[in-house]
Structure 1
Amino acid sequence: LLYLGREYPKGADYFRKRLKAAFLKNKDEKDPEKIKQLIARGEFVIKELEALYFLRKYRALKQRYYDDD
């Protein structure tokens, strides 16, 4: 997640602080089911970030190579 956050729109520092806070908030979690839910949420966040970056890349390419007709 930290690697993906380096290109976050609000900046890598903002993303890192939020990520660290999320991990620290859940550091004492012992329930295996809750841990699985948290991991699933993290994987969801990864997919959302990837989609955000692909969309930004697509828009940049479209703007560069196509007219706005």
Structure 2
Amino acid sequence: MSQRSRVIDLYKNLLHLGKDWPKGYNFFRERLHAAFLKNKDEKDAEKIEKLISHGNFVKKEIETLYVLKKYRTLKRRYYDNN
């Protein structure tokens, strides 16, 4: 898979994850777009690989936050201490 297609795939995955963002989809989309535009002229292959790996790390962190939010909601729902 080429670097270009990996970057596009990462962007699409992050955009999809942004649909459940607490501050709203538009806020997330604007910030994501700005982050990708900031590095659009990068030509160094090693630097691009670092950016892709950082993007994958951010994707995993967002997924983890969503799972934690669901866990806390379920815990509150079923184990309320009243």
Whether the TM-score (by the shorter chain) exceeds 0.5 is yes
**Which is bigger in relative contact order (C-alpha 8 A, separation at least 6)?**
2
Return the TM-score normalized by structure 1: 0.94
Point out 4+ residue stretches in structure 1 off by more than 3 angstroms.
Answer: none
- Give the gaps of 5 or more residues in structure 1: none
- Percent of pairs with identical residues: 65
- Match of 2:79, as an amino acid? Y
CA distance in 2 between partners of 1:51 and 1:42 (Å): 14
- Give the gaps of 5 or more residues in structure 2: 1-13
CA distance in 1 between partners of 2:80 and 2:34 (Å): 43
2:69 is matched with which residue?
Answer: 56
1:43 is matched with which residue?
Answer: 56
Measured after TM superposition, the shift of residue 38 of structure 1 is 0.4
Aligned length: 69
C-alpha RMSD of matched pairs (Å): 1.0
CA distance in 2 between partners of 1:45 and 1:68 (Å): 34
1:27 is matched with which residue?
Answer: 40
